[in-house]
Amino acid sequence: MTTATATIDIAGLDGRHVTLAPEQLSDLDSRVQGRLLRPGDQGWNDAVSIWNGMAARLPALLLQPASAHDVAAAVGFARDHGLLLSIKGGGHNIAGTSMADEGLTLDLSRMREISVDPQARLAQVRPGCLLGEVDQATQAHGLATVLGFVSETGVAGLTLGGGWGYLARRFGFTVDNLAEVEVVTADGAIRTANHDQHPELFWAVRGGGGNFGVVTRFTFRLHEVGPMITGGLIVWSAERAAEVLAAYRDLTESAPRELTAAAVVRLAPPAPFLPQVWHGKPIAGIQVCHSGANADADLAPVRALGSPIVDLIASRPYTAMQSMLNAMEPKWLHRYWKAEFLPRLSSEFLDAFRSTAMRVTSPLSQSVIFHLAGAINDHEDDDGAVGNRDAHYIGGFNATWPPGAAADPHVAWARDGWERIRPFSTGGNYVNFQLAEDDTTRTAAAYGTNYQRLQRVKATYDPGNLFRVNRNIPPAT
Ligand SMILES: Cc1cc2nc3c(=O)[nH]c(=O)nc-3n(C[C@H](O)[C@H](O)[C@H](O)COP(=O)(O)OP(=O)(O)OC[C@H]3O[C@@H](n4cnc5c(N)ncnc54)[C@H](O)[C@@H]3O)c2cc1C
């Protein structure tokens, strides 16, 4: 417990600062079991660090709740004092929406319990968990739910924005696998939301981000997966990029749902799995994860291209597949991503994609297409706010450069490529890839016809827009 001895100025919801007296801070402290941190306290630097260095912001005060009751106390405190409140799950959002400058942050990293019921095929997951922790716990029973492919990403933010990964073609978006949530709403109530209780709230959190409250427990449905799958990367010289991308299109157009593939064009990183002579040279690769039978037959067309620089596709644990790319995505580099959902890979799209990819400005940047389609396209009644059920791919440009280097050339590269591929978009985009600079038009486009319903749910559960440090959905008036 921290003993508050000084006043503290915190950014308020109305743009003005709120000065909290020591006794007000002590009051909050006495009502929670978790830790209240101020700049300079032990653990502060870790708690405020996020993945995208370009989006860094510094709160004035941070609470690490230990339970849903702590969260409820903090939400009530923020609301009553009119404080700018942000919520941190895994801190991986590219727009840096887990932090607000000079605000109050709830850092959920101490709420990390996972319990798996293999008979019921359900996992209860607290919101501070990272993807890899959930994969490890569920794979101990040969089970998995749909999560992304960098295992240090937070479960909470990924899920609330929709979520997809190597299993999405089989089992849908992450939110399609959500059976229930426990959520603290702006009035401080701890609610259970599912198809029967608070069904509109449950619909909204399945894609609507952190707009409706702080989720303190996710209940995921699980499926039999692995524990061994066939997966990995196969790489060619980018001189063959046109051929590789055409083969990627052919592969994905006829792939079974058990097979998910991503195409990547970039300068080869200095990774031990690539021959040194290739480091820094342009390469085109296909990353695959096949979680069914017949992997060799299904992957034969890719291998038929012949003469790769390396072929790392092999039988490996699903958990290894899920963490294979972690080393490529360290914290604190500066990032600027631009991506669109795509209905197909036309030749014109692939030309625009390839010509941008070949003009890349940084050895850390990548041009990526990820195959979706399959189960995410299976539209059902009441399938959540996530939308974008017409997406077959997501593709775009991930600009990355070291802190201190000029951002302009890298930002210009990603933006220029994005302008070229926009004409091929479904019109939808992924809310979890939006940047701080994106406006409400782009957020509305991410939800299509679901947007107005989301605004109505927001007006019911958060009419004062307490939860606004996110890809914000203003309440309907
Ligand atoms: C390296 C990398 C790989 C990625 N790969 C994938 C992928 O394969 N598939 C995919 O779908 N996405 C992927 N993403 C995008 C990812 O889904 C988003 O970055 C997501 O926001 C990360 O969640 P987080 O909890 O780490 O983020 P945070 O920055 O902590 O939070 C993101 C947002 O969610 C809100 N939030 C967090 N926790 C809660 C909560 N408990 N209740 C209410 N609101 C909350 C925050 O306030 C914030 O607005 C990737 C991102 C990165 C950086």
Give tens-digit pLDDT for 352-375: 999 999 999 999 999 999 999 999
pTM score above 0.85 = yes
Distances (CA, A) of 325 to 271, 313, 331: 11, 14, 13
pLDDT at 381 exceeding the cut of 80: no
Q: Is 384 in the pocket of ligand 1 (CB under 6 A)?
A: no
Q: Is 172 in the pocket of ligand 1 (CB under 6 A)?
A: no
Residue to probe by mutation, ligand 1, list 46, 62, 87, most atoms within 8 Å of CB: 87
Residue to probe by mutation, ligand 1, list 153, 185, 326, 430, most atoms within 8 Å of CB: 153
* pLDDT-based confidence at residue 161 (cuts at 50, 70, 90): very high
pLDDT at 101 exceeding the cut of 90: yes
Region 254-264: mean pLDDT is 98
Q: Is 215 in the pocket of ligand 1 (CB under 6 A)?
A: yes
pLDDT at 114 exceeding the cut of 80: yes
* pLDDT-based confidence at residue 3 (cuts at 50, 70, 90): low
Q: What is the pLDDT of residue 1?
A: 46
If DSSP codes are grouped into helix, strand and coil, which group holds residue 86? Answer: strand
Q: Which atom of ligand 1 is nearest to the CA of 155?
A: 25
Q: What is the pLDDT of residue 327?
A: 87
| Average of per-residue pLDDT values in the chain | 96
Q: What is the pLDDT of residue 4?
A: 62
What is the number of residues in the chain? 477
Q: Is 424 in the pocket of ligand 1 (CB under 6 A)?
A: no
Q: Is 89 in the pocket of ligand 1 (CB under 6 A)?
A: yes
Is the link from the previous residue into 227 a cis peptide, with omega within 30 of 0? Answer: yes
Q: Which residue has the least CA distance to atom 9 on ligand 1?
A: 148
Region 413-430: mean pLDDT is 97
The number of beta carbons lying within 10 Å of the beta carbon of residue 42 is 9
Q: What is the pLDDT of residue 332?
A: 87
Q: Is 335 in the pocket of ligand 1 (CB under 6 A)?
A: no
Q: What is the pLDDT of residue 296?
A: 96
Q: Is the CB of residue 106 less than 8 Å from the CB of residue 63?
A: yes
pLDDT at 474 exceeding the cut of 70: yes
* pLDDT-based confidence at residue 383 (cuts at 50, 70, 90): confident
Q: What is the pLDDT of residue 330?
A: 87
Q: Is 97 in the pocket of ligand 1 (CB under 6 A)?
A: yes
pLDDT, tens digit, for every residue of 241-252?
A: 999 999 999 999
Q: What is the pLDDT of residue 433?
A: 97
